[in-house]
Amino acid sequence: MQVRIYHNPRCSKSRQALQLLLDRGIEPQVIEYLKTPPTHEELARILRLLDMQPRDLIRKKEAEYREAALDNPDLSNDALIEVMVRFPKLIERPIVVVANKAVLGRPPERVLELIAQ
């Protein structure tokens, strides 16, 4: 089973989700998305796998959210995805992807649902 985690090592929830995987003998591909942001296409695919809209995956308390006026309801999904690609700090984390399924690890135990399937 190939498992990818979009990870921020400074985030306690992200560290906990990674540890849950490691504790179960799963060595995921760790993508530090702040250093290596997903492309527009990758993020759009992740959103489809999560069954989420871009607004659902945006961290609304970040300064970049306010500065870019991302609460504007007229912004398209593509525009929101593009902003998240440019400012990956806005992407909620951690995200774990296994094949054609994904889960947002909030709370971190949600990753267990994905690997149990």
Residue 74 has pLDDT above 80, yes or no: yes
- 3-116 folds as Glutaredoxin (3.40.30)
77 alpha carbon, distance to own chain's centre: 16
Q: What is the pTM of this model?
A: 0.94
Confidence class for position 117, pLDDT limits 50, 70, 90: low
Return the DSSP state at 88. Answer: G
The residues near 84 (Cβ < 8 Å, ≥ 6 apart) are 43, 54, 57, 58, 90, 91
Given a contact cutoff of 8 angstroms between Cβ atoms, the answer to whether 61 and 92 are in contact is no
pLDDT tens sequence across 21-64 = 999 999 999 999 999 999 999 999 999 999 999 999 999 999 99
Residue 92 has pLDDT above 90, yes or no: yes
From 1, 2, 11, 84, the catalytic residue: 11
Given a contact cutoff of 8 angstroms between Cβ atoms, the answer to whether 115 and 21 are in contact is yes
* Domain residue ranges of the chain, discontinuous segments joined by +: 3-116
**CA torsion through residues 8, 59, 109, 117, sign:** negative
Is 110 one of the catalytic residues?
no
The residues near 106 (Cβ < 8 Å, ≥ 6 apart) are 13, 92
